[in-house]
Structures are given as C-alpha cells and as structure tokens.
Amino acid sequence: MNARLALLSGIVALAALPVSAEVYRQVDAQGNVTYTDEPRKAPLLRRSR
C-alpha cells in the first residue's frame, strides 16, 4: 500500500513540473496593480515580472 502511494505521489509530482506560466504585473496611473498571463495586455513600458 505504501509503495503504491509513493509511486502515485511521484507520478503526480513529475506531471506537475512542466506546468508553468509567466505572470505580468501592470501598474496603472492611479496605482492600481493588475496581473495577467498575456503579455499583449500589459503595456510595454510598465511590464515587469
């Protein structure tokens, strides 16, 4: 039972590794902060990671 659980946990952990996304932070003129995963929605001059 413990070996199965360890194997299943390992498979789930390995499957989750390649999942990632870049997050872009945007601050508007009023100081409001928004986040997006689409770089086209973040203004070029205000882009940061």
What gap in Å lies between CA 47 and CA 36, rounded to an integer?
10
- pLDDT, one tens digit per residue, over 1-32 is 788 999 998 888 887 766 667 888 888 889 88
Domain range summary for the chain, segments of one domain joined by +: 20-49
pTM of the model: 0.40
Output the pLDDT for position 48.
53
Got the DSSP string for 23-41?
-EEEE-TT--EEEES-GGG
pLDDT in the model for residue 26: 83
